[in-house]
Amino acid sequence: METLGKKTALLGAAAVAAFLTAGGAAQADTAIRVTLQLPETHPLGVNLNAWKGCVEAQTEELDIQIFPSAQLYKDNQVPEAVGSGAVEMGTASLTRFAGSVPAVDAVYVPFLLDTPEKVAKFTAPGSPARAAIDQAVLEETGARILWWQAFGRTIYLSKDPIRVPDDIKGKKVRTFGKLLGWTAEALGAAPTLMSGSKQFLAYQQGAVDAGITGLTGAKSRKLYEVMDYMTLTYDSDIEFVAVMNDEVYQGLSDANRRIVDDCGAKVEQELRDSVFEIEAEALAYLRDKITIIELSDEEREQWRQATASVVDRFVSEGGPTAAKVVEEAQKF
């Protein structure tokens, strides 16, 4: 149950959003405010704007209003804000729904989805694993997943070089989800849960020694300015989702729902097809700005063995849906 304070904060942010959008462009029948955690220049922001352009090109009844860089809500607030209707739509890391649907963290289970082929099969629209997650999120939160946003793979940022698991023992590590906290613990580190928008200051001030994040986020948030090393573990897949309050979705006309869904499917595939190219471009950009540590097969195997217990813990504590999702993923 949400607390009165949380509800007040969410509704207060919604009021701010309404104030910000008042007097703007010509009014459509329905305004869809979207809270975005990243800058609009990030691939997820570009993806969201592509969806906005696609929708608005086909209907004059919807006015899509994007609020980037966590202006309205931090990523950990998005599930509650969208599910409650405080804002119509938002994007957030899939792990932010783990409080209600533990199975979503399957994408962060270390080395479960460690190849592009496995990721493609797991995230394919209609796959058993994805269908189970989409349905559970809708039932438990009231937020409907419109499309998945490929973010790329996990990497570690640090002040000191990290090459093997022993190098991270005893360090405070920024994480962005419960399961990633388990991964840090399995490695002998101390996890610190932190929103993406707080990373720069935390690294700059030394609040943590290292951080788990995505390659493209390291570029867009300029984290190379406050960290010295980047370790390409590529041990799990980062997925964001674009979600809409289900009552808002159901309130759209049949024609507008089709447009919303079709445009979502279109931009999802575009981002999925280009995510590894985007990562390669980000890596090329970062090479002269931060020391990059690429692991050998033997070193990566050490990481795999050190985090193997996380899989069993996830299945044990995640419930039937989590077990089903892992079972499906292990078939790949």
Each residue's pLDDT tens digit, 111-124: 999 888 999 999 99
pLDDT score recorded for residue 28? 61
**Across the chain, where does the E strand assignment appear?**
30-35, 62-67, 89-93, 143-158, 172-175, 190-193, 210-214, 229-232, 237-245, 291-294
Q: Minimal CA–CA distance to 221: which of 169, 174, 162?
A: 174
pLDDT tens-digit profile of 198-256? 999 999 999 999 999 999 889 989 999 999 999 999 999 999 999 999 999 999 999 99
Q: How high is the pLDDT of residue 196? A: 86
Q: Which of 257, 208, 206, 212 is nearest to 231 (CA)?
A: 212
Q: What is the DSSP letter of 295?
A: P
pTM of structure: 0.81
Percent of the chain at pLDDT above 70?
92
pLDDT at 20: 43
Residue-level pLDDT at 203:
97
Amino acid 184: pLDDT: 97
Which whole number is the average pLDDT over 286-308?
Answer: 97
Give 87-140 pLDDT, tens digit per residue. 999 999 998 999 999 999 999 999 999 888 999 999 999 999 999 999 999 999
Give per-residue pLDDT as tens, 6-17.
443 454 544 444
Domains of the chain: 4-330 (3.40.190.170)
Question: Which among 317, 315, 330, 275 is positioned nearest to 112, based on CA atoms?
Answer: 330
Mean pLDDT of the chain: 91
Q: In percent, how much of the chain has pLDDT > 90?
A: 82
Distance of CA 121 to the CA centre of its chain: 18
**Is 50 exceeded by the pLDDT of residue 21?**
no
Q: CA distances (Å), 66 to each of 37, 61, 75, 132, 143, in order?
A: 10, 16, 15, 29, 18
Q: Give me the pLDDT at residue 17, please.
A: 46
Question: How far is residue 100's CA from residue 78's CA, in Å, rounded to a whole number?
Answer: 13
* 312 pLDDT above the threshold of 90: yes
Q: Which of 47-61, 206-220, 311-325 has the highest mean pLDDT?
A: 47-61
Whether 195 has a pLDDT exceeding 90, the answer reads: no
Cβ neighbors of 228 (< 8 A, separation 6 or more) are: 158, 159, 160, 290, 291
Rounded mean pLDDT, 189-195 = 95
Q: What is the pLDDT of residues 22-32, one digit of tens each?
A: 444 445 689 99
pLDDT, tens digit, 9 for 90 and up, residues 264-280: 999 999 999 999 999 99
Question: Confidence band (pLDDT; 50, 70, 90) for 177?
Answer: confident
pLDDT computed for residue 15 by the predictor: 45
